[in-house]
Amino acid sequence: MRHMMSPLDFSVDELESMMDLAVQIENDPEKYAHVCDGKKIATLFYEPSTRTRLSFETAMLNLGGSVIGFSSASSSSATKGESVADTIRVVGTFADIAAIRHPKEGAPLVASQVSPIPVINAGDGGHQHPTQTLTDLFTIRSLRGKIHDLTIGLCGDLKFGRTVHSLITALIRYPNIRFVLISPEELRLPSYIREDVLDRNHIAYKEVTRLEDAIPELDILYMTRVQKERFFNEEDYVRMKDFYILDKEKMDLAKEDMYVLHPLPRVNEIAVEVDSDPRAAYFRQVRYGMYIREALIMTLLEVSVC
Amino acid sequence: MLNVGALENGFVMDHIKAGKAMTIYHDLHLDRLDCTVAIIKNARSEKMGRKDIIKVECPIEELNIDVVGFIDHNITVNVIKNGKIVEKKKLSLPKKIVNVIQCKNPRCITSIEQGLDQVFVLTDPEKEVYRCMYCEEKYSGHRNK
């Protein structure tokens, strides 16, 4: 029995197979509409989430399965002091697979150590969110037809953004990926990722502060939100904030086949006027997320089309 | 010079950095043993100038000696049987250490989950980096080297 705690739990070849399966599901959803008949997913969400929980639930429903679970810690036994380990032991007697989101880092790993059913980490604090990374990888592959020989711009809050850290760690396993790290000085990628991940693996990257300077060379632009509270003073925030708002003017500088991704929710870092641009792929990304979660559920449950 | 009698059966931890013997005493939970334990502080050493030594009169198997490797793998451990050294243990950085150090990350599940072992894993032997198995927070406390 396998679990999904980190994207690195699966080899590049295994992820490739999972993405191939996701493509087949996307192309012929009817064929997969009953592969999980009689199976149940438990979505154990100790903190609120809209997209991730609904994406998991929809993924299971699309495969013919059903859903149980809770969407906040207040509606679970956690309020009575039940441990994560005990909760999964109990839930494991009802469901066939579980997706866990928890504010405490490592909680899904604790569950997986005692769980009788496969556990998926659906986000644990600022630590990991592997299905977002799978979504990002699958989106890049679907849009560009490959996950190699690409220049990928990561823009915004590179210091605290767990999706960015996780994506970088996953992408360096593919050949000829170059990164352009676009952020204010205050929100640069942490040194442990620059040194321990990028430098150690001899990955090409450069750091810039202005999105305009970087955008012409990018194949993928991965946007994240720059939050006001991350700055030490208001003046710096005001000075920098417009550099990181993607608008039509900046899109005009980009290649015709550059795609814009965003883990969502978007606040104001991508102007609404960009939504109609065919290169704005962040809503398609949500759809790809659902397909890859379907493929992940099938992989962990070891079910296939008869 | 102060003399402490030779051990008949047990083990000797030598080349402990001067002043660190008591830390090892506590981390190895020697205080819980009923056997004889001799702590020699600030012994003269050609190599180190000053050093600490601990002599323990109990079978080495009763203790989690890996902890000493985590604290300082330059410490030498000699196993004594019938008054003679029968083994010089070479210490290395343990791949995993359980319930010796605590994760300081307030967002880590170990801060709330009851009965959970504190497990740290050696993730970078070159830089001697240990990370919490659950949240991957780097151990930033002081080891005794």
pLDDT of residue B145: 46
Question: Percentage of chain A with pLDDT > 70?
Answer: 100
- Choosing among 3.40.50.800, 3.40.710.10, 3.30.70.140, 2.60.40.10, the CATH entry for B10-89 is 3.30.70.140
Mutate to test the interface with B, among A47, A105, A197, A199 (most CBs of B within 10 A): A105
Q: What does the pLDDT look like over B86-127, one tens digit per residue?
A: 999 888 888 999 888 899 999 999 999 989 999 999 998 888
- The number of CA neighbours under 13 Å toward the Cβ of A191 is 0
Whether residue B109 contacts residue B134, with contact meaning beta carbons closer than 8 Å, is answered with: yes
Angstrom distance (rounded) from CA A136 to CA A288? 8
Residue B8 identity (one-letter amino acid): E
Tokens of A287: 């759809």
**Kind of pairing, strands A259-261 and A220-223?**
parallel
The structure tokens listed for B6 are: 């030779």
Distance in Å from the first CA to the final CA of chain B: 26
pLDDT tens digits for range A59-79: 999 999 999 999 888 877 777
- Residues written for chain B: 145
What are chain A's domains? 7-128+289-301 (3.40.50.1370), 131-274 (3.40.50.1370)
Is-contact A87 A76, C-beta < 8 A? yes
Place of tokens 């006001």: A228
Domain ranges of chain B: 10-89, 96-132
Distance from the Cα of A120 to chain B's closest Cα (Å) equals 15
Q: How buried is A135 (Cβ within 10 angstroms: 0-12 exposed, 13-18 middle, 19+ buried)?
A: buried
Structure tokens at B86: 């029968």
CA distance B28 to chain A (A): 27
Q: How many Cβ atoms are within 10 Å of A87's Cβ, its own excluded?
A: 22
pTM, rounded to two decimals:
0.88
Is the ipTM higher than 0.90? The answer is no
| A227/chain B closest Cα distance in angstroms | 21
Nearest CB among B114, B133, B137 relative to A83 is that of B114
Q: Which pLDDT band, with edges at 50, 70 and 90, does A96 fall under? A: very high
Candidates B111, B134, B136, B140: best to mutate against A (most CBs of A within 10 A) is B134
- Cβ atoms of residues B15 and B89 within 8 Å: no
CA B78/CA A20 separation, integer angstroms: 57
Question: For residues B11 and B81, what is the distance between their CA atoms, to the nearest angstrom?
Answer: 8
Residue A251 has pLDDT above 50, yes or no: yes
